[in-house]
A and B are shown apart, each in its own frame.
Chain A
């Protein structure tokens, strides 16, 4: 049955709310509006205004409220409309949610789920196009996931809710409209990366909205004789080192794709780990394809030029082979 990513997110929320009366969803426009990406349409009618709470525009406030509620017996899902607005709530996430367990000597757990839309590509310009996953993946005390497929859009919510620690879920804005033929949607996991395409010549590592670009590049490169293995990171913190390193030890080459700005990107972290764990297996330097370091411009051609594209990935892979292509 053809299911969209948006529907998968919606159904995951609905099923979570049905399964456990402690689950509440709160955020801006999640109720009456049905969710800014229509991910919570109909939920207010089914579950009522106590469990589907429209909040005022108070990111710092309602994320903190989510933390307090999680401490005291609820299982809140806090939706921050996009990662761009999450900056307002960063203090509560970093200084309370992530730190509470440690600061208190292990007395508390914060079973909070935060969902945010992320990424660029719709000409929404500099303040609405961020990809700040690396900032969140940097913080000890939380877990960070990026579902890139319809199956994961549904499947990651249940394990995230079951997790006793804060989990931040990133949903790329360009993925909501994508769809796939899925037999049944079930919970997946929030612990491992996935090899989406097996290959032998080079490892492509991607996550979230960049995964499909990596897959397209892999298809194109195969016609040119280069066989790519594509890894979907799925979990950005903690990174699944084993899957990444096993692949690189096999292929001897790696290209990391990340929509974040190049400097301090998550790609940088993956590259460092590859260097640490598989240096002597490398046949070429590890490469990355990231966004150009410019606040996202509005004009379409400029935005597309700033973002990583399939052609960039193909070129980066080709560069690893010298005269051997």
Chain B
């Protein structure tokens, strides 16, 4: 890696996500964040590497493990944190929580608690772009568990049949909650499934941020050139449990330890230090900056306000007039 600027950004993105997720874990234990919390620790390379291949006006559809995608797509950490706290300054006005982060201005279409729920949505967004002749890509993130759902198959089939600009990004972390890959799929090579729908595919090491970036770039280029779909399988691993309340009875600690040796942040840091792209000071600077960003986000969330109960029934249907704009988060 000779591009210092890019290396800095990649590492910074991964570290910001990692520290934010760790902070979320702490806040959840302190009961500041409630409900379900699904953390991305260990998978940072996928989001950091792939999202930057998208243009600003491309669309992103993600899962309930979407904090990284939301942050790296440009939703301020303050908004994200406030949303997790349930405050009305959150990006979904406190109505969504961890699993339902949305931002229309960033074309970030959530945040979905139904496994594979976002795939048909992504195909539909792409359909509109194709029909309205907008040359935009819709990136759709989902896990290995989603590949078993009917919605995956229906969506891939129609995206290929109708030649729609969807970048399907499968974050295969080897577990669908507590069920290992080989116990959920008769065919564990997920690219084969996508290929069966005549969607071109790529499999990539999800712990290698540069590889993720290259793969995503390749995918995005294909989608833009052909207007048709592309499927990337990112082979990754989550170091923490599926969600906060998961005793991880289904996997060996030894296995987790093995994967931790391939921590994307550590390996990329070491590589950059080794070849001189980044210095220790750079890394410290990134950590300090991330810590400050997180501290500010937590403070923002703490200072946030609870939405008035009187407004409980708003935003079920669209009111006839323009709704008032959402409170601006601090930047």
Contact = CB atoms under 8 A, between A and B. Distances in A.
Direct contact of A and B (CB under 8 A): yes
B154 A56 contact: yes
Contact of A68 (B90, B92, B128): B128
A71 B318 contact: no
A283 B318 CA distance: 40
A74 B132 contact: yes
B102 A107 contact: yes
A93 to B, nearest CB: 11
Given A61-B155, A165-B317, A104 B95 contact: yes
Q: Per DSSP, are chain B's interface residues mostly helix, strand or loop, or mixed?
A: loop
Contact of A64 (B102, B129, B151): B151
Nearest to B96: A103
Interface string B144-183: 0000001100110110011000000000000000000000
B272 interface: no
A225 interface: no
Interface string B176-217: 000000000000000000000000000000000000000000
- Which of B104, B113, B117, B127: most chain A CB closer than 10 A? B127
B154 A71 contact: no
A107 B103 contact: yes
Contacts of B92: 103-105, 107
Contacts of A165: 317-318
Contacts of A60: 120, 150-151, 154
Nearest to B91: A105
A102 B315 contact: yes
A105 B123 contact: no
Contacts of A141: 316-317
Contacts of B111: 103-104
Contacts of B161: 56
A92 B123 CA distance: 13
B104 A65 contact: no
In this complex, the interface size class of chain A, counting residues with CB under 8 Å from chain B, is 35 or more
Interface string A91-132: 110011000111111111100000000000000000000000
Interface residues of B, number: 48
Given A101-B317, A104-B102, A68 B125 contact: yes
A198 interface: no
Given A24-B131, A104-B100, A68 B120 contact: yes
Nearest to A66: B124
Interface in A152-179: 164-165
Interface string B307-331: 0000000111110000100100000
Interface in B99-127: 100, 102-104, 109-114, 117, 119-127
Given A92-B117, A105-B326, A69 B93 contact: no
Contacts of A55: 158
A68 B100 contact: no
A63 B117 CA distance: 11
B94 interface: yes
A72 B110 contact: no
A105 B120 contact: no
Interface string B131-149: 1100000000000000000
A65 B109 contact: no
Interface in A22-43: 22, 24
A140 interface: yes
- Which of A63, A74, A102: most chain B CB closer than 10 A? A102
A74 B315 contact: no
A96 B125 CA distance: 13
Contacts of B122: 68
A103 B157 contact: no
Given A56-B158, A101-B316, A102-B316, A63 B120 contact: yes
Contacts of B96: 103-105
Contacts of A226: none
Given A56-B161, A58-B157, A92-B120, A72 B318 contact: no
Given A24-B131, A68-B124, A141-B317, A108 B102 contact: yes
A70 interface: yes
B114 A72 contact: no
Contact of A67 (B90, B120, B155, B326): B120
A62 B120 CA distance: 7
Contacts of B117: 64, 91-92, 95-96
Contacts of B151: 60-61, 64
A106 B323 contact: yes
A65 B161 CA distance: 13
A50 interface: yes
B39 to A, nearest CB: 20
A213 to B, nearest CB: 32
- Which of B123, B128, B150: most chain A CB closer than 10 A? B128
B287 to A, nearest CB: 32
A285 interface: no
Contacts of B103: 107
24 contacts: A53-B162, A56-B158, A58-B150, A61-B123, A62-B120, A65-B121, A68-B123, A70-B124, A71-B124, A71-B125, A72-B124, A72-B127, A76-B124, A92-B117, A96-B117, A96-B121, A101-B317, A103-B92, A104-B102, A104-B111, A105-B95, A106-B314, A106-B315, A108-B104
Given A62-B120, A69-B125, A103-B111, 10 more contacts: A53-B162, A61-B123, A61-B157, A65-B127, A68-B123, A73-B132, A91-B114, A95-B117, A104-B102, A105-B92
Interface of A: 22, 24, 50, 53, 55-56, 58, 60-74, 76, 91-92, 95-96, 100-109, 140-141, 143, 164-165
7 tightest CB-CB pairs across the interface, nearest first?
A: A68-B124, A64-B120, A105-B93, A61-B154, A72-B128, A58-B154, A104-B102
